[in-house]
Every structure is written in C-alpha cells, then in structure tokens.
Structure 1
C-alpha cells in the first residue's frame, strides 16, 4: 500500500455511517485520530438470538462506548431525518458497510459529500459481496477503494486505492481481516488529502465493472460435477458464511448437512464417478470430482463443532468408506 506522507491536516467534522465489525474498525481509527465525529449512523437494532432480543450492531456499541451521538433512521426518505443530518453541518460523511442506500439529497449534504470504503479494487466487484466474489473467482489481488459516492451502486469517482494479495489458502474471513487493517489507514490518508483540497477524483471505467452479488445459502451446496480447483475456491469464499456443505443420506434415509471448513486439491487421475470417495485416511477424505479430487480435512457434523477428519472418522467412520458416494448412496 502506497500512502502520501503529509503534515497533520486540519480536523474535519465527520458523520460516520456503518454497521458490522468491519465498519467499527474504521470508526475506531477515526476515534483515535484528530478528526471530530459529530454523529454515528447505524441501522435500527434488529432481533437476534433465540429470544429475538433487539440487538445493537458493532458500530453502535463502539459509538456508545465513546459517548458519541447515535442516529438510527429507518431510511432517509423522511424530511425530518434529512434535516437532522444537515444540522450536524459535517464536512464529510464516511460510509462503511452501512447497508442502507443514501438518496441524492444526503450525498450532497456534507460540504465535501460522502465517501465510501469499498472492499475491492473498483470498478471490479461492485456490490454486496466483493470479498467473497474475489476469492471465488480466484483473483490474486484485492484491496479497498475509497470513492466519492454518487447515486449509482459503487460507481463513484475513486480517490485512493490500497491493495493486498490473495493466496491460494486465503478465505473470505482472512481477507476480511486484512482489509479491515488496510482500510482505516487508506481512509485516514484520504481524509488528510480532502482536508487540504489536494486530491484527485478518478472516474471509473464502467466497461470494466463486474458485479458482486450477495451470497445465497443455496450456493454453499457442493457440486461434485465441478473440477476440484473450482470447488476449493468456492469453499474458501464461503468461510465464514454460509460455509460449503453437502448432504449425507444415512441408511434410515435421514439427511445430515455436513459443513466443510477446510479442504485441499489432490492432483490425480481417476475413472470414478464424481462424488465417489477415493480414499479415507486420518488426514482427510478424498472425493472424486470431474477433474482431480478434493480432500476434505475439517468437517462439521450437524449440531457439533468443526473437527479434524480424524475425529470425525472416530465417530462416523461408517459414513465415509472407499467406493461410496459422499452423499451416502453406495455405488
């Protein structure tokens, strides 16, 4: 990541809008900076857990911990909500994984407009799941882009981009953590440039854009008809949610959803039907795919915690025998 070293710029009055831990880490960086946070915006509290108790998001909890003013409008359609935001007289609004679309009137309210921290190298992977789609696609590079927001979906001019590599072992969870460290520094550098007025806005090339659709639980079902290297990328992309899985059908015709938390590609020639178990050993269960094989190393049985393959075999060895379908049907 290449950052410009400057003398500390004058403090800006900032409205921050965000929801999950990723956003909270950016808010913490602002709290630790010399800037002035005039308000923090979060979505309304949502029911969570078995008791469906209203629960605050990570960003709200952090804001309250530091005695920051919190606003939680349902949306910004009401003129009263628009006026409330305007009354803060912010220089800029920083948006990080907020989850609400901002109408044009809000985008134009702060003196310097609204900027967004997006988890990709724009214009690639606009949309809701940029980290997961980058891992799934096998991208070797990702990052964060600080952009000036407009009324489009992640279409605004780019101000600063910071990059990091994606290895063949990275998951969406590990890249999430990497970007959560990279983003705050890029954000502070951007604010420093905006405070001095010395910054460029680079228009995105729309023809190069790709869309990162929101993940769906149905995608997590492993399709053994795909090559092993494709399955491996999907498996890594779906950690920590929804987690790649397959359905085992036991002798009583009871279905068991088994999650796969870790696997590796095995380069091998075979003539078995995709989904057939080729080998069973303590280090993993090797399953045939249409190209090479996938070795399942850490599994999670229904209602249990994730375990190494050896521990799974100690209790459920009869589910995984050579020549059997991974879904439980014998050949």
Structure 2
C-alpha cells in the first residue's frame, strides 16, 4: 500500500522500519522540522528523518499542517493510508480525510485510559499494573478514535518510562504491520468505539513534578523516580546540592523522612511510609553512578539527609 508515515521521535522508528520491511510503499514521511540540540545548539534531524533518509524516502517537514499549500502537497502524494506515531503536530480533519483508507495511530496506552501527552509516565505514577499499545483510528478529538487492536505489557517494580517506551514502540510496530496487512487484504479494519465513561487524561509532564517530597510513601517516590527516567529525572537536595535519582525501589521499614539509614548495597532512605532503596544517582555536573560508586565518591554516610 501507499503510505504516508507521520512520526518524529525514537518511539516511531520501529514502526517505520517494520512497514518498510513489510514491503509497503512510503510515498511520504512527515516529521517535525530539524530542531536545535546539544551544547552547540546545531540543528538536529529527528530519528524518523534519519531512518527515512537512509532508505531514500520522500521527507516533508512543514512547521504546520494547517497551511493550504502544505495540505495540497500532502494530497498530491495520493496515499492509501496515513500512519501516525508520536508525530507531535495537530493533523487537521481535511488531511485526515485525504488517504483512501483514512488515518491510524499508534498510542502508548490501553485506551481509553491515558489519552494525551504522557501516557507511559502517568501509568507508572498511578501504579497501574499494566499498560500497552492501542492501534486506533485518528479523529479530530484527542485520542478518541475507535480501537483496532491492542497489546498489553505488565508494569513491574523495576520498569521505567524508558524500558516501557522501548517495549511499547516495538509492540506498536508489530501491531501496525498486522493491521495494514488486514487492511490491504480486506479493504477495511474492524474497530471498537472507546467507552467514554472510562477516559483518563495523561497530562503533559511539568519539571516541577520531579522534586521529591520525602514525606510521601516509598512506593509513591519509587514510581516517581521510575516514571521520570529518562526525563526529567526525579531529584532531591543532598548536602545543599541537587541530586538526581535515576533508579529506586520501595522496601519495608521505618525511618525519619529523608534520612539515609544504610549505604550498604545501595542508598536506603526513610520516607513518610517505608524505605526507598536507591541504586543509581547523579551529582550536579557528574555522571550517572551506581549507588556504591556514588557513596565512595561523595563520602555519603548514615545519618546524612535528603531534603
């Protein structure tokens, strides 16, 4: 089939790669414009653009899809279907209606739970037992389209946003290839409407959410740490300096909130309820370190306080 693929970050790369491997014709790859990145703030291509150019595909990077000339250019691609995976720009209804078979999206949650910008983060923060991917029709309302298929992934106490991101992007790619095979054979994709009474919203993350309140339970703080890995990274104050905490799990016990009670085989800190066992930390200007290396390098001792 002739496909327009719309995606930008790493999450979308496995899907584009899988669709190319499946033999579909990518008539256009829509991705966001190159953005300044790194210390030199040089323009950097999106991960999707990098892959598309490796395969010599037609890459189109408009700032908006609302412009009439942009819409005419997309329509001229004469696509059978558009596939969206974390594209990041609003797709007007007129563009959604251009492809013969419509437009389908890879969404990183089990809809209707966690519509919106940060579904993986919110699922961990909420303590969900599982998450997943939903292949859905794209409609003008946010993540409200009918559901074609989905894949479920359990959330363990060691999962971070990064580990779930990687798992979900690969599952989404597999599900989309299966969906396109069905669409090509049958000319239609059966879909189920979402139950609007079960909708929850995954609001965009705010950097202020990264600050740890040590009076919360260890379970809540562990979820915060894992949800904010790799960004924006949970943090507390240690010896008057910001300390970023990359990995931690909750364990039973009782101690004053913020007090380090053990530096053996990890850094264990008291919380409002339970203990937080930290295994990876980072000092300002330093590298991510194992707890053991951090303890040795920063002379961390029992009785020191996180605030």
TM-score, normalization by structure 2? 0.96
Give the TM-score normalised by the residue count of structure 1.
0.89
Q: Secondary structure at the match of 2:213?
A: coil
* Structure 2 residue corresponding to 1:119, chosen from 108, 126, 137: 108
- 1: CA distance between counterparts of 2:39 and 2:284? 18
Q: Return the match for 1:305 from 279, 287, 299.
A: 287
Q: Does 1:76 find its partner at 2:65?
A: yes
Tell me what 1:293 maps to.
Answer: 275
Deviation at 1:314, TM superposition (A): 1.7
User: C-alpha distance in 1, partners of 2:23/2:82?
Assistant: 16
Secondary structure in structure 1 of the residue aligned to 2:205: coil
- How far the C-alpha of 1:33 sits from its partner, in A, is 1.0
- Counterpart-to-counterpart distance in 2, 1:132 and 1:61: 26
- 1:297 and 1:194 mapped to 2: Cα distance? 47
CA distance in 1 between counterparts of 2:180 and 2:198 reads 27
Runs of 4+ that moved beyond 2 A:
320-325
Which residue of 233, 236, 244 corresponds with 1:246?
Answer: 236
Q: CA deviation at 1:198?
A: 4.6
1:281 matched to 2:255? The reply is no
For structure 2, which runs of at least 5 residues remain unmatched after alignment? none
Aligned with 1:26 (options 11, 15, 39): 15
Q: Partners of 1:64 and 1:289 in 2: how far apart?
A: 50
3-state SS in 2 of match to 1:305:
coil
Please tell me whether Structure 1 or Structure 2 has the larger radius of gyration of its CA atoms. Answer: 1
User: Which sections of structure 1, spanning at least 5 residues, go unmatched?
Assistant: 1-11
Quote the offset at 1:306 in angstroms: 1.3
| Alignment-derived partner of residue 326 in structure 1 | 306
Alignment RMSD, CA only? 1.3
Kindly provide the CA deviation profile for residues 266-308 of structure 1, in whole angstroms up to 9, marking residues without a partner as x: 20134x3x2222x232312222111111122211111111112
**Structure 2 residue 207 is matched with structure 1 residue 227:** no
Q: For this pair of structures, how many residues does the alignment match?
A: 306
